Structure 1
Amino acid sequence: MKILITGATGLIGQELTNQLLQENHIVHYLTTTPFKSHRRQNYFGFNWNPKTGKIDENCIQGVDVIVHLAGASIAEKWTPYYKNELHDSRIQSADLLFQLLSKTPNQVKHFISASGTAIYPDSDSALYDEEAIASDDSFLGDLVQKWEASADQFKSLHIKVTKMRTGIVFSNKKGALREMIKPIKMFVGTGFGSGKQLQSWIHIKDIARMYSFVIQNQVEGVVNAVAPIPVSNQELTSIIAKRLHRPLFLPNLPRSFMKMVLGEMHILLFNNKNVVPKKVVNLGFKFDYPTAEIALSHLIK
């Protein structure tokens, strides 16, 4: 199968590319920067620039599936300018792909877009599977709704659409886990608020395997791309400290303080969401890292 990936150099994109190449797929990727000739078999790069509307039309030649991972990181200060960047990097890029497929003969059958669990409202009691219809009214919740709407437009081209609502991705290369590790390693680690808030997460290898599973099984609609067992903020902090052989002696940081430090972005640390991957589990997907304890024992040596 020939698969086009946007955001192929990102955290998930790199792992997914390796997964697909190991499965003998052909991978096309889009990049905004000049690239060197590919050095790996079945791996081809093409230029695009969503901000200017430019894209190499050859990128979709023979492509069966598009995996859309492009988007600016949410782990930056949410200034008004950066909020626009978070929006445009996701929506403009999807719109450009839609325009290309609309006017260019192609054989694309499946469009798979990254999405986020931020679409679900903060709740102490709700259990969110893929049939949940409640949506969060925060900036990030609104962003995810628009992100998914940009993916849904591909249905008008008679293309299957999947939206991968992803939690915190655990990786020892980059991303949220490395930032969690830093203060604990320096003996200043602590939890946030009550520490009871549940955080949905997934191991980097499981998310790559899940994308491949969705491709192979032509899974449509919403997919909760999270591990089956969420972890509380306090438990996660304790597991990391245990793996690093570091004590936790500081009091938890209150929400008011983190709001002062991070502004609106502080909600990432305090939202309480119990999200479950019902759809892929029912279809037979098996997690290699189903619990935070197992995942972190693999990632933190």
Structure 2
Amino acid sequence: MKKLIIAAGTGFLGQVLVNHFKNKFEEIVILTRGKSQTIDGIKYVNWNAKTFSGWEKELENATVLINLAGKSVDCRYTKENKKEILLSRIESTKVLNQAVLNCKNPPKHWLNSSTSTIYRFSLDKEMDEVNGEIGNDFSINVALSWEKAFFKTETPNTLKTALRTSIVLGKKGGAFIPLKTLAKIGFGGKQGKGNQFVSWIHEEDFANAIDFIVQKEITGVINIVSPKPVSNVDFMQKLRKAIGFPFGIPMNTFLLKIGSFFIRTEPELVLKSRNVIPKRLLENGFKFKFGNIDEAFKKLLNK
């Protein structure tokens, strides 16, 4: 019997995966901070992402384990929030490593979240899994610590893959909704200089890529991004066109910093140049449904 476990699977990406995999697995278990219950045939099991409390038994005989746990980076980088961003990723990964090692029949394949933010700010070079250059700042160091916590513990009977995911564009969550709102009210111009690259992926390609990795048993680190990063100025211009809004007021760095303060987030989320490409997915023969941003926007705005 095929069994899928998604740790922290109640959010936007978790629901994208549940919708994709619901007819491909006989059993789906979501580890959640909410209460234990079963809804529409999906089993929700309470966990705190730090300690054992019975949830770990669910990992027995699992085909696939996907871990999405980690505090959202869409917040102010206060000392407290920084600590929680780091610890929420490290602790959940460590306790899952322990749970996998304790299993008599551990999950066959474990896919753990990571981030394409692990690469340095880049206007000059496309970053792939082989030749990508790792930078040095808070977000990058979180990503490095996260992957280290994941790979450091060897799990002889469980394959491991770290998903270096970029901005996932979806109808019901993630970055697309606030960006669409900005464009609709006339603030859909470039952000900062506008030359920074946006690495993105459509939600369907995100789910298909994870399915593909499982089928092909691809391990190690893998970039979950579309093949063509676009500059921020192009991204916003194409979004305005797709929405049908004629103009967009640009937001310079100073305004972005003020705006970010009021909406309790960090300007880095839009100012960092993420110039990342999916070399390993393409080399293994993965076909993207939404290879260019115009097609992705068209699909997302299709009522």
State the TM-score bracket (shorter-chain normalisation).
over 0.9
The answer to whether the 8 Å contact 1:15/1:208 transfers is yes
Q: 1:31 to 1:6 in 2, by over 3 A?
A: same
The 3-state SS of whatever aligns with 2:171 is: coil
Deviation at 1:87, TM superposition (A): 1.3
Structure 2: which amino acid aligns with 1:62?
A: N
The answer to whether the 8 Å contact 2:240/2:248 transfers is no
State the aligned residue count: 298
The answer to whether the 8 Å contact 1:227/1:276 transfers is yes
Map 1:210-289; keep pairs closer than 5 Å: 210-250=209-249, 252-262=250-260, 265-289=266-290
Map 1:150-189; keep pairs closer than 5 Å: 150-189=149-188
Map 1:50-129; keep pairs closer than 5 Å: 50-129=49-128
RMSD: 1.9
Structure 1: which amino acid aligns with 2:207?
A: A
The answer to whether the 8 Å contact 2:100/2:155 transfers is no
Structure 1 residues without counterparts, runs of 5 or longer: none
| 1: CA distance, partners of 2:71 / 2:275 | 25
| 1: CA distance, partners of 2:35 / 2:220 | 34
| 2: CA distance, partners of 1:143 / 1:136 | 11
TM-score, with normalisation over the residues of structure 1?
0.92
Deviation at 1:139, TM superposition (A): 0.7
Structure 2 residues without counterparts, runs of 5 or longer: none
Residue in structure 2 matched with residue 135 of structure 1 by the alignment: 134
| 1: CA distance, partners of 2:294 / 2:136 | 32
Deviation at 1:140, TM superposition (A): 0.5
Deviation at 1:106, TM superposition (A): 2.4
Q: 1:6 to 1:169 in 2, by over 3 A?
A: same
Structure 2: which amino acid aligns with 1:85?
A: E
| Structure 1 residues 159-197: Cα deviation after superposition (integer angstroms, max 9, x where no partner) | 321111111110111110111111211123221122121
The answer to whether the 8 Å contact 1:30/1:59 transfers is no
Deviation at 1:296, TM superposition (A): 0.3
Residue in structure 2 matched with residue 15 of structure 1 by the alignment: 16
Structure 2: which amino acid aligns with 1:258?
A: L
The 3-state SS of whatever aligns with 1:114 is: strand
The 3-state SS of whatever aligns with 2:46 is: strand
The 3-state SS of whatever aligns with 2:150 is: helix
Which deviates more from structure 2 when the two are superposed, residues 97-106 or residues 234-243? Answer: 97-106
The answer to whether the 8 Å contact 2:242/2:294 transfers is no
